[in-house]
């Protein structure tokens, strides 16, 4: 069991031994919410697996049960409050998610259960456990937490255990935060299919022509066109009217660099020393109109790519959110590493935005979009990056990974790290990593830990700064290092003593086969064919769906077969 803590503990003295609980019952209110009832069931099940005690679950309106699970109206929606006394335990939290998170935190931190993957929960023998008496409390610093893995989307009950609050509307799982991801939205606000033919002037002027390319949610808008402002505002207001529970809406650029260069837009951008000059002026104008119809809704926009640098004088309205995107940053080094020149501009922009906006959100990148299954050395930078976002007053974090793919490189481990750290940025990332690897891979763990060290040290020693679309060379792979990577995983397979451990190692070993295929150098055709066959077999066995962000796995397999 890990010694790290997420709950603030105020001791009162003494311990509660599991042996003293054997005749207790679990109580939940008759009129409890769906998430309270589910929380009580989850406690009953998890506690039974760890302690072998089957405690009855009783519905009652009386507050006299020995183990009480309930929501408190005085707590925020994800706050946790646990009280352990010699004669009772109270597990309490806010609604709709806090009470469920409180149960999972109790099972993790005070019992020792670990929710490693959707298929693997580590259950310790807690039959002799003693829980220190006192008060345990926690309030998460980020209200929006998205570890963007398809494993979470396809297993919302597991995502709830990992306290990822952005994937499901299920009431028993507490639903999801009503803060929406700030994302590309110009295509939805002023659809090209609706207006493009009759009003080309609504869209970006690029190299003397109005853009007609709808790639990336384009074309971009001419953001200084008064009619565009009114149409975009009306569209946003209607969307919010149709979705009254929403707390924010995106008014943000398309995912393309073809922003408007018309005379009016360019003059504003030149005066503000950033293309964000015209963009933010547009967003402010739309936000002003939205506020009149929906005064409690925030308007979010991306500070992304060419708009990341804040303008000189234009500042966000009080109802505007800024979501900073770190796509240009090195993924090996922490964003605030002073020795990484590649990250300095992002830090400078973050500091400047912090001076003019108190509603900052983060879009961070945690995978290789060019090749989901290639070794990707960012495991050392995740924790310091999350802490950097926290220290710069971010309210929520979207940690983008291979959200449209299954069986990405170390997706299980990285999801465990990310979800823990965006729940509590102060956890020891190295302890978390070691905990996961040792529990999940058991006897094969030493070889996998050696591989992780080698991968990161190798890139560091070569002075490389990979981003989120790296080539094999960018992550330090050549014939020699690819062979070393392959050898580490062959050793791990040899060490795997049980069939289920071998299966877990096989899944993560896909990256080693990929490294050999793309960086293994010249090899005999027979050897290469053997690698291709083994690689495809593993990918199919472990349900790889995408080889890259825009390439289905089967399409990539066909490329390999035709080589």
User: What is the structure's pLDDT at 1?
Assistant: 41
Collapsing DSSP states into helix, strand and coil, what is residue 326? Answer: coil
Structure tokens at 77: 């929606």
User: What is the structure's pLDDT at 3?
Assistant: 46
Q: Which domains does the chain have, with CATH numbers?
A: 8-139 (3.30.379.10), 141-177+326-563 (no CATH), 180-298 (no CATH)
User: What is the structure's pLDDT at 217?
Assistant: 93
Q: pLDDT tens-digit profile of 180-235?
A: 999 999 999 999 999 999 999 999 999 999 999 999 999 999 999 999 999 999 99
Count Cα neighbours of 366 within 13 Å in the Cβ-side half-sphere.
32
Element (H, E) at 163: none
User: What are the distances in angstroms from CA 297 to CA 62, 183, 518?
Assistant: 39, 16, 48
Structure tokens at 179: 């803060």
Judge if pTM exceeds 0.85. Answer: yes
List CB contacts of 50: < 8 A, sequence separation 6 or more.
107, 111, 112, 113, 123, 124, 125, 126, 127, 129
Place of tokens 């299966």: 503
Q: 479-495 and 445-461 helices cross at what angle (nearest 10)?
A: 170
User: What is the structure's pLDDT at 2?
Assistant: 47
**Where are the extended beta strands (E) located within 219-345?**
248-250, 298-303, 320-325
Taking the mean position of all CA atoms in its chain, how far away is CA 145? Answer: 6
Helix runs in 357-423, H state only: 382-391, 411-423
Return the number of other C-beta atoms located less than 10 Å from residue 532's C-beta. Answer: 17
What CA–CA distance (Å, rounded) separates 22 from 375?
48
Radius of gyration, alpha carbons of the chain = 26
Task: Report the relative pairing of strands 80-84 and 89-93 from DSSP bridges.
Answer: antiparallel
Task: Identify the segments of the chain with pLDDT beneath 70.
Answer: 1-4, 62-64
What CA–CA distance (Å, rounded) separates 50 from 38?
18
User: What is the structure's pLDDT at 211?
Assistant: 94
Average pLDDT over the chain, rounded to whole? 96
Taking the mean position of all CA atoms in its chain, how far away is CA 213? Answer: 30
What CA–CA distance (Å, rounded) separates 523 from 217?
43
User: What is the structure's pLDDT at 200?
Assistant: 98
Place of tokens 């990707």: 376
Task: Report the relative pairing of strands 80-84 and 114-115 from DSSP bridges.
Answer: unpaired
What CA–CA distance (Å, rounded) separates 9 from 105?
13
User: What are the distances in angstroms from CA 69 to CA 19, 53, 134, 160, 165?
Assistant: 20, 17, 17, 17, 20
Task: Confirm if 518 and 496 have CB atoms less than 8 A apart.
Answer: no
Q: pLDDT tens-digit profile of 332-381?
A: 999 999 999 999 999 999 999 999 999 999 999 999 999 999 999 999 99
Task: Confirm if 297 and 244 have CB atoms less than 8 A apart.
Answer: no
Task: Report the relative pairing of strands 394-400 and 144-148 from DSSP bridges.
Answer: parallel
Task: Report the relative pairing of strands 298-303 and 320-325 from DSSP bridges.
Answer: parallel
What CA–CA distance (Å, rounded) separates 408 from 369?
10
Q: pLDDT tens-digit profile of 24-54?
A: 999 999 999 999 999 999 999 999 999 999 9
User: What is the structure's pLDDT at 62?
Assistant: 66
User: What is the structure's pLDDT at 34?
Assistant: 97
Task: Confirm if 85 and 11 have CB atoms less than 8 A apart.
Answer: no
């Amino acid at each position: 069991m890990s010694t790290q803590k997420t709950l603030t503990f105020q001791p009162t003295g003494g311990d509660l031994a599991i042996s003293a609980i054997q005749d207790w019952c679990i109580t939940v209110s008759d009129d409890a919410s769906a998430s309270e009832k589910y929380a009580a069931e989850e406690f009953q099940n998890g506690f039974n697996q760890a302690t072998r005690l089957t405690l009855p679950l009783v519905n009652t309106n009386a507050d006299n049960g020995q183990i009480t699970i309930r929501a408190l109206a005085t707590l925020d929606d994800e706050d946790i409050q646990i009280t352990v006394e010699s004669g009772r335990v109270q597990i309490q939290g806010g609604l709709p998610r806090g009470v469920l998170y409180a149960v999972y935190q109790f099972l993790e931190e005070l019992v020792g259960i670990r929710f490693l993957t959707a298929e693997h929960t580590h259950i310790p023998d807690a039959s002799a456990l003693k829980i220190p008496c006192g008060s345990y409390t926690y309030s998460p610093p980020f209200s929006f937490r998205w570890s963007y893995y398809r494993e979470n989307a396809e297993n919302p009950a597991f995502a709830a255990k990992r306290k990822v609050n952005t994937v499901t509307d299920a009431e028993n799982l507490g639903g999801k935060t009503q803060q929406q991801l700030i994302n590309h939205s110009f295509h939805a606000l002023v659809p090209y299919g609706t207006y493009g033919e009759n009003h080309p002037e609504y869209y970006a002027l690029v190299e003397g022509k109005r853009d007609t390319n709808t790639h990336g949610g384009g074309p971009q808008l001419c953001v200084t066109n008064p009619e565009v402002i009114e149409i975009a505002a009306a569209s946003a207001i209607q969307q919010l009217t149709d979705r009254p529970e929403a707390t924010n809406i995106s008014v943000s650029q398309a995912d393309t660099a073809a922003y408007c260069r018309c005379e009016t837009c360019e003059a504003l951008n030149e005066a503000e020393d950033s293309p964000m000059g015209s963009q933010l002026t547009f967003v402010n104008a739309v936000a002003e109109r939205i506020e009149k119809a929906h005064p409690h809704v925030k308007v979010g926009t991306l500070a992304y790519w060419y708009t990341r640098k804040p303008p000189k004088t234009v500042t966000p309205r009080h109802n505007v959110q800024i979501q900073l995107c770190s796509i240009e940053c090195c993924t090996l080094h922490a964003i605030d590493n002073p020795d990484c020149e590649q990250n300095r501009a992002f830090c400078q922009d973050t500091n400047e935005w912090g001076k003019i906006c108190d509603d900052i959100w983060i879009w961070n990148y945690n995978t290789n979009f060019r090749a989901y299954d290639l070794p990707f050395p960012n495991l050392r930078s995740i924790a310091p990056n999350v802490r950097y976002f926290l220290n710069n007053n971010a309210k929520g974090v979207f940690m983008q990974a291979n959200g449209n793919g299954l069986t990405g490189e170390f997706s299980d481990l990285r999801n465990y790290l990310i979800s823990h750290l965006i729940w509590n940025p102060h956890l020891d990332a190295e302890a978390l990593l070691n905990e996961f690897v040792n529990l999940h891979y058991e006897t094969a763990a030493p070889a996998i830990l050696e591989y992780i060290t080698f991968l990161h040290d190798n890139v560091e020693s070569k002075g490389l700064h990979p981003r989120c679309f790296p080539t094999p060379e960018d992550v330090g792979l050549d014939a020699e290092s690819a062979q070393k990577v392959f050898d580490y995983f062959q050793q791990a397979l040899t060490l795997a003593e049980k069939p289920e451990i071998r299966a877990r190692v096989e899944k993560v070993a896909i990256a080693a086969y990929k490294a050999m295929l793309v960086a293994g150098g010249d090899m005999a055709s027979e050897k290469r064919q053997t690698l291709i066959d083994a690689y495809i077999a593993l990918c199919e066995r472990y349900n790889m769906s995408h080889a890259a962000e825009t390439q289905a796995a089967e399409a990539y397999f066909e490329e390999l077969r035709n080589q």
